Amino acid sequence: MQSTDFLYLVVKYIKIMAHEVNFFLYKFKWS
């Protein structure tokens, strides 16, 4: 695996996790 591919996967994972956290906080705030 090339390092560029690894970095791409890391960034993609971070974006997904950030989206999940934002969604959770949004639901928690309006529950």
Map tokens 């090339």 to a residue.
Answer: 2
How many residues belong to the chain?
31
Distances (CA, A) of 9 to 19, 20, 23, 28: 15, 17, 21, 28
Q: Show me where the domains of the chain are located.
A: 1-30
Alpha helical stretches, state H, 1-31: 3-30
Give the C-alpha separation, 7 to 29, whole Å: 33
Q: 1-31, pLDDT tens digit by residue?
A: 688 999 999 999 999 999 999 999 999 988 7
pTM: 0.59
